[in-house]
Amino acid sequence: MNFQDLKLIPPILKALAKEGYTEPTPIQEQAIPAVLAGRDLFGCAQTGTGKTAAFALPILQRLQEQPPGAAKRPIRALILTPTRELAIQIDDNIRAYGQFTKLRSTVIVGGVSQKAQEQALERGSDILIATPGRLIDLLNQGLVSLKQVQILVLDEADRMLDMGFIHDMKRIIAKLPSSRQTLFFSATMPPEITSLVDSLLNDPAKVEITPVSSTAERIEQSVYLVDKENKQKLLNLLLEDRSIASAIVFARTKHGADRIARGLNKAKVTAQAIHGDKSQNSRQNALNNFKSGATRVLVATDIAARGIDIDELSHVINFNLPNIPETYVHRIGRTGRAGLSGVAISFCDYEELAYLKDIEKLINRKIPRVEDHPYPMANTAPSAPAQAQAAKQPRPQAAQAGGRTRGMPQARTSAKPQGKPRNPAQSTGSKPTSGKPSQGNRPRSNG
């Protein structure tokens, strides 16, 4: 299938061709016809599946086919997102897809002066992309009207719930016309999301892409068993390999992310941390530096990394294994996107062995262990604080195992990877392979 088969109008097809898109991703194939038909939509899809284009393309088409009658453009589509970074990325995508239309989009986010945002709203905008907090502020000041919104998008709704935006979301939705089209996207389905879907959507089309238990076959996975106190040394050593052009390192805590970034910079590896305690300007600066190549490593917490849209990311490194196995799948899904190859490396200390077991149960495969490295695990007993914590808080249960994946180790391993290695010459050595991206024929994933 190609984009012409989805009955998209010439201005949008022209933009897609200019941006290098060749064929739709599965979520785009399924969602675009339903949205063009005016149906409500529930999409269970994670970052990297192309979901931004899945809702942005049909929204642009529907608005383009119904030009506004008023002199000042009313807001006809509202897209709510959990973070400033994601809002900006969605706006960038919409501007690219709509470059040959006359539609306008505006971003409303916190952490920056609202004066320029007020001026953009005064000029009129067809599409508003906003974070809930700043939009509530402007609504309270009477500076924005949502009375003519025809389409509402809730993107990454589960993260908005996690970040405490549920009441703001409900207040915003109460300001919208009841006769509207609602598009709802979430990577997970906790009970709160199910309840929200039932209350907001009317006979929705349902699209579920990339079950959380599956990892991309093109992602090479490996795990290093290493003591906690040696993880920074091991990370510094791995990043001496200059073929690791760019990497996101996942940390469990905000303080941990800062500490890892300091350790990397001390070792002459350019790194910046991104997490919720950083100012909006600091987070955007770190993201811009990473995308431009000025910063080689981005150290992130899970919530801060959500929505980061980087196609040619060669490596994901789990400095700490997540205690929720599905999070592992979300993390490593940031590499190996849009037809490219990628490498996912994990560090596991003794206290994380149970997490590793849960992850392997979920993905239905044993992740190859890298045995030839200078910092093998020596501690084989939990620390006293860990024992106390384990007594207080039960470990989350793993979900049932799902799809199988293939990969290959970056060094001599204790488990044979499934599938045929792409380059047998890369299957030995004490350092991970570079996992250099190779371009495929899929469009870039945009969310």
Name the residue ranges covered by the structural domains of the chain: 3-208, 219-246+310-426
Does residue 416 contact residue 369 with C-beta atoms inside 8 Å? Answer: no
Specify the DSSP class assigned to residue 444.
P
In tens, the pLDDT along 336-379 reads 766 667 899 999 999 999 999 989 988 888 999 999 999 999 98
| 178: its two tokens | 């009841």
Q: Which is nearest to 361 in space by CA: 332, 333, 326, 407?
A: 326
Largest pairwise CA distance in the chain: 71
Same fold, 3-208 and 219-246+310-426: yes
Statement: residue 42 has pLDDT above 90: yes
User: How far, CA to CA in Å, does 395 sit from each of 125, 352, 355, 361, 387?
Assistant: 48, 11, 8, 14, 12
Helix locations, 42-128, DSSP H? 51-64, 84-97, 115-123
Q: Does domain 219-246+310-426 have CATH number 2.60.40?
A: no
At residue 182, what are phi and psi to the nearest 5 degrees?
-120, 130
pTM, two decimals, is 0.58
| 158: its two tokens | 């589960």
Identify the residue with better confidence: 308 or 193.
Answer: 193
CA 335, CA 218: separation in Å to the nearest integer?
9
Rounded average pLDDT over 15-32: 89
Of 26-30, 113-117, 304-308, the poorest mean pLDDT is in: 304-308
In tens, the pLDDT along 209-252 reads 755 556 666 789 999 999 999 999 999 999 999 889 899 999 98
Per-residue model confidence (pLDDT) at position 423: 34
Rounded (to 5) percent helix, strand, coil in the chain: 40, 15, 50
Of 57-66, 67-76, 265-274, 292-301, the poorest mean pLDDT is in: 67-76
Q: For residue 42, what are the β-bridge partners?
A: 184, 206
CA 110, CA 163: separation in Å to the nearest integer?
14
Q: Which is nearest to 352 in space by CA: 377, 333, 335, 370?
A: 377
Of all helices (H) and strands (E), which one includes residue 283? helix 280-292
Identify the residue with better confidence: 35 or 420.
Answer: 35
- Of the pLDDT bands very low, low, confident and very high (cuts 50, 70, 90), residue 324 is confident
Does residue 28 contact residue 61 with C-beta atoms inside 8 Å? Answer: no
Parallel, antiparallel, or unpaired: how do β-strands 315-318 and 342-348 relate?
Answer: parallel
Specify the DSSP class assigned to residue 100.
T
Does residue 53 contact residue 29 with C-beta atoms inside 8 Å? Answer: no
Does residue 207 contact residue 26 with C-beta atoms inside 8 Å? Answer: no
Residue 208 DSSP SS3: strand
The CATH code that applies to domain 3-208 is 3.40.50.300
Identify the residue with better confidence: 199 or 214.
Answer: 199
Identify the residue with better confidence: 276 or 100.
Answer: 100
Residue found under tokens 């064929």: 23
Statement: residue 29 has pLDDT above 90: yes
Determine the number of helices (DSSP H) and then strands (DSSP E) in the chain.
16, 13
List Cβ neighbours of 333 (8 Å cut-off, separation of 6 or more). 46, 47, 48, 210, 215, 216, 219
- Of the pLDDT bands very low, low, confident and very high (cuts 50, 70, 90), residue 47 is low
Q: For residue 183, what are the β-bridge partners?
A: 41, 153
Q: How far is CA 362 from the centre of its chain?
A: 20
Identify the residue with better confidence: 447 or 164.
Answer: 164
Q: Which is nearest to 300 in space by CA: 254, 341, 335?
A: 254
Does residue 353 contact residue 321 with C-beta atoms inside 8 Å? Answer: no
- Of the pLDDT bands very low, low, confident and very high (cuts 50, 70, 90), residue 164 is confident
Statement: residue 99 has pLDDT above 90: yes
Does residue 129 contact residue 79 with C-beta atoms inside 8 Å? Answer: yes
